[in-house]
Structure 1
Amino acid sequence: MHPAAVDGDRTEEFPVAEKPKRRLGRLALMIALPLALVVGGALYWLSLQGKVSTDNAYVQQDKVSISSEVGGKIVEVAVKDGQTVNQGDLLFRIDPEPFRLQVQQADAQIASAQANVTALQNSSALSGADISAAREDIGFAQAALNRQQALWNRGFTTKADLEAAQHAVAEARERLRAAEARQAEASAKLATGAQVPGENPQVASGRAQRAVAELNLARTEVRAPVSGRVAQADRLQRGQQIIQGVPVLTLVATKSTYVEANFKETDLADMRVGQPAEMTFDAYPDIVVKGHVASIGAGTGSEFSVLPAQNATGNWVKVTQRVPVRIAIDEAPPREMIAGLSTDVTVFTDGRKH
């Protein structure tokens, strides 16, 4: 209540100054609010020191495109999409019958080459019988020629008989040269080269063709090169004709999980390989996984893009580049990691384990 003065029948009130407590409260509020903002900003700034973060990060896993090294018809599919397989497990099988026939054909070629070798080894050309016979013919023809020459000198023979004897000697000598040539040819066919010493080249060629046929036969069974999960297996159907070298499914190597984080170039000043890191995942918000910096990219993302930026233009605008940083996972996550999951990564550049 305000104090009042009484003057006859009229009462008059006089104003009183505000209470000191209200003025002090307003003053304290005016001081405390800016101070709280300053302290909060300082604490936030301090919390950002010694670490850098990015939400431009994704779970990565090595992916192997599976294709067949031989073409043919699929006769068996042993996996389905999402199935976990171990290294060496059968994925699918191609019809092996054409390749078995190729093995049999190679066996026939080897047998034919071996028969030819045996025939050459037992041939008269190689044994020298033809050469011996030719030499005997030369001796006989030469003796006949000598008799005709003596008779010619005494005038008891004709010139025709003498020339016939001379012709017989020449023919015998030609047969000797032909026999020697056949022997040399047979020896050459049985000779072995420096690349396959001790084995006939035709036999070696047949064995090489058989090895190729056996390899192609073994390749009709397509097996997992690494352990992982099968993806895109819906493209495999029995009876489908597969083309050599064309990928038909993908194998995701789950044991090679890591995170690829794209940091701004301004965040790399204090970042080093080996620094600890923490990762959270949009799919699993309650999980925090520890890791460390495994490597820092050799170039920015734009540097390795299919169409790199051309900055030598008049309308160039500077854009902060991002560098891929590989984060290794140090502990087994409690949930299964899936390639491509969005991730938040924090690297502690002060080196402390948080």
Structure 2
Amino acid sequence: ANWARIEPLAIKGVMTKSDSDQAETALEQAQSAVTQAQAALEVSKQDLETIKVSRGSLEAAVGGAVAAVNLAEIDMTNTKVLAPRDGTVGEVGAKLGQYVTAGTQLMAVVPPDVWIIANFKETQLSDIRIGQPVTFTVDALNRKRLNGHVERFAPATGSEFSVLKPDNATGNFTKVAQRISVRISVDPGQDLAQYLAPGMSVVVRTELEK
């Protein structure tokens, strides 16, 4: 704006040559400063784009680090073997420092719930009903008598669950009474029930057999 006022005066010769040259030099310096500022602006824009790209890389690195932490936490949880339910541990086969893979049997957990599996003949089931009271004696408990109730019946005979099933389609046939498993619950409030353990031999009698 200053040069726009001085230039007509310089052309008419109203002002001195030195003042005109000084004003023109000031104009050129101002134009150079503008050009320099524009170049600096472009450099700043490029730096901003570089920062944006670097920020994306850093965010990706942070995401990778978070994923690594999550994976480490999963690996840490895999070092803890949790029992599916409460119970007593037995047959511990794992040793300290031993490496195991998925599916390796480490130990057996015996739950506190105890019940009786009685294998009745199929000819004895006609008089047995769900909820029917029963008594049973345990060999390991000096044949002491305990009480229970019929809880449920197996869906098939024991022979149907065996590896080699009998095939009586041809030849001579000898009728053999099959056995069906009956689950019997142990009535609460019996002191001897706490000594029952899986695998013990028992003799079950229904109320109708007494």
Shorter-chain TM-score: which interval?
Answer: 0.5 to 0.7
Choose the corresponding residue for 2:69, options 187, 203, 210: 210
Aligned position for 2:181: 324
- CA separation in 1, counterparts of 2:191 and 2:63? 56
Between the aligned partners of 1:206 and 1:312, the Cα distance in structure 2 is 67
Higher relative contact order (CA 8 A, sep 6+): 1
The partner residue of 1:249 within 107, 132, 143 is 107
Q: Which amino acid aligns with 2:156?
A: G
Q: Which residue of 2 aligns with 1:289?
A: 146
Measure how far apart 1:256 and its partner are. Answer: 1.3
Measured in 2, the distance between the counterparts of 1:269 and 1:317 equals 22
Alignment RMSD, CA only? 2.8
Question: Normalization by structure 1: what TM-score?
Answer: 0.40
Query: Cα gap change, 1:270/1:238 in structure 2, threshold over 3 Å: closer, same or farther?
Result: same
The aligned amino acid for 1:288 is R
Q: Which has the higher strand share?
A: 1
Runs of 5+ in structure 1 lacking a partner?
1-121, 128-185, 191-199
Please state which structure has a larger fraction of its residues in helix. Answer: 2
How big is the shift at 1:336?
1.0
Q: Using the TM superposition, give the Cα deviation of residue 208 of structure 1 relative to its aligned residue in structure 2, in angstroms.
A: 4.1
Match of 2:119 among 242, 262, 270: 262
Letter of the 2:70 counterpart: A
Deviations 1:161-202 (A, max 9, x none): xxxxxxxxxxxxxxxxxxxxxxxxx7xx96xxxxxxxxx777
Q: Of residues 208, 230, 240 in structure 1, which corresponds to 2:98?
A: 240
Q: Cα–Cα, structure 1 residues 316 and 243, in superposed 2: closer, same or farther, change >3 Å?
A: same
Instruction: Give 1:316 shift.
Output: 2.7
Q: Deviations over 1:66-105 (max 9, x none)?
A: xxxxxxxxxxxxxxxxxxxxxxxxxxxxxxxxxxxxxxxx
The question of whether the paired residues in 2 share the 8 Å contact of 1:296 and 1:325 is answered with yes
Identify the match of residue 124 of structure 1 among 49, 57, 81. Answer: 49
Number of corresponding residues: 159
Shift of 1:216: 1.7
**Structure 2 stretches lacking a partner, 5+ long:** 1-46
> How far apart are residue 333 of structure 1 and its match?
4.0
Separation in structure 2 between the aligned mates of residue 333 and residue 212 of structure 1, nearest angstrom: 49
TM-score with structure 2 length normalisation? 0.65
Name 1:165's counterpart in structure 2: none
Change in CA separation of 1:333 and 1:318 when aligned onto 2, cut-off 3 Å: farther
Report how far residue 337 of structure 1 moved.
1.1
The percent of aligned pairs where both chains have the same amino acid is 35
- When residues 211 and 303 of structure 1 are mapped into structure 2, their CA distance, relative to the original with a 3 A threshold, is same
> Kindly tell me: are residues 281 and 211 of structure 1, through their superposed partners in 2, closer, same or farther at Cα, counting changes over 3 Å?
same
- Looking at structure 2, the residues matched to 325 and 205 of structure 1 have their Cα atoms a distance apart, in angstroms, of 57
Structure 1 counterpart of 2:172: 315
Structure 1 stretches (4+) deviating beyond 6 angstroms? Answer: none
d(CA) in 2 for partners of 1:326, 1:271: 12
Q: 1:338 aligns with which of 176, 197, 205?
A: 197
1:271 equivalent in structure 2: 128
Q: 1:218 to 1:319 in 2, by over 3 A?
A: same
By how many angstroms is 1:296 displaced? 0.8
Change (3 A) 1:347 1:203: farther
Give the conservation status (yes or no) of the 8 Å contact 1:272–1:349: no
Change (3 A) 1:204 1:271: farther
